[in-house]
Homo-oligomer: A and B are copies of this chain.
Amino acid sequence: MGKTKNIFYAQSGGVTAVINASACGVIETAKKHRSRIGKVLAGRNGIIGALTEDLIDTSREKPSAIAALRHTPSGAFGSCRYKLKSLEENRAEYERLIEVFRAHNIGYFFYNGGGDSADTCLKVSQLSKSLGYPIQAVHIPKTVDNDLPMTDNCPGFGSVAKYIAVSTREASLDVMSMAKTSTKVFILEVMGRHAGWIAAAGGLASTKGAELPIVILFPEIVFDRKRFMELVERKIRRHSFCSVVVSEGVRSPDGKFLSDLGLRDAFGHAQLGGVAPALASMVKQDLDVKYHWAVADYLQRSARHIASKTDVEQAYAVGKAAVEFALRGKNGVMAGIVRTSNHPYRWKIQEASLARVANREKMMPRSFISRDGFGITARCREYLEPLIKGEAYPPYRDGLPVYVRLKNLPVPKKLSEDFEVG
């Protein structure tokens, strides 16, 4: 097999509107270095594909199909929610990984995900030597939650933020025009169980000259029902309506998720509600005004049709940088985004040590949340605004975006043994 080594690439955890742009960056950049890099082999359903030797040969896709990954949401090779255990708990898993890597001449391990995958990536980078097979592990950041440290922001977040900002603006205008005789409170539930970055993006909907009455409920701030209702009531008095953007992770003073109301249907069956309907019921009880609520759920993270151009470019860039880091002999690093200027917004990719990334969550700084706890500050706005900038529309056919589906042809297996994942 000469001096060239193959790349193993896998997608991990919840997918985003732009994670495939990172895959595109990896594959297109690798092709430019044929003297040193062989093929990019992708894990079918993430790391599970490595453990089960279910690898996808990306070289069998047309270049146009690979290019189309740039505008295709979701995880083109399949992702998974699967965290490798510690070496002590399941050494067999790591040994299996190395065995598969060795069998397929894989010299580079690229893991595209959030905190958990950064941790796995770090472990692989540390263990490969001790297990007698050198491999360079590079982490490619991805998370809609924007909660990774050592990077100014996470690819995937900017597009969700844009979706939430745009949707909040549009729905607020709708409510504004109906408020005289109909809905006065609109509640939008957004993702972000621990960190309020996505909820904060709702605040961008209101800008100078186009103000909107928006109240944000962050998971970082304990829910105070009385103060919240007073604020909503004030906004209604002044603007005739109020929009509420609420993070799924908001908790009441007793530490319980607000969505965890112990709902029962008429037959006594437990119901899993969202925080939006729970909050809507409280608004009904306390203020007795007409309300509507929406839960964006997967719509927000898959909305490639309204992706941020900045986000798409950064997602591609971190994939490209992973290849370049690998070629420069790096190991145990993440391709982080560094903001070098705000006006105009400028950024570059820089390596970050995975030891400083893994198992740490980046919460919203308190200085990004307004003093009353219900809004964003000017500093937060300055941080968020460039991340949603620019449009990067996918191509359309017959009114629908054209998203690529890869052939995802398997690499013939070389190992005789199956491996049980679990």
Contact = CB atoms under 8 A, between A and B. Distances in A.
Interface of A: 11, 14-15, 17, 45, 48, 72-82, 162, 165-167, 169-171, 173-178, 180-183, 186, 188, 204-205, 207, 210, 261-266, 269-274, 276-278, 280-281, 284-285, 292-299, 301-306, 308, 310, 385, 387-391, 393, 396, 398-401, 403, 405
Nearest to A309: B399
11 contacts: A45-B180, A75-B178, A165-B399, A171-B297, A173-B403, A263-B264, A265-B281, A270-B281, A295-B295, A390-B399, A391-B396
Shortest 6 CB-CB distances between A and B: which pairs?
A262-B266, A75-B177, A388-B399, A294-B297, A74-B173, A170-B302
A173 B398 contact: no
A295 B298 contact: no
A226 to B, nearest CB: 16
A181 B45 contact: yes
B272 A266 contact: no
A271 B280 CA distance: 9
A176 B74 contact: yes
Nearest to A204: B400
A277 B271 contact: yes
Nearest to A182: B81
Nearest to A177: B75
A399 B185 CA distance: 25
Contacts of A181: 45, 48, 80-82
B305 A306 contact: yes
A308 B399 contact: yes
Nearest to A274: B277
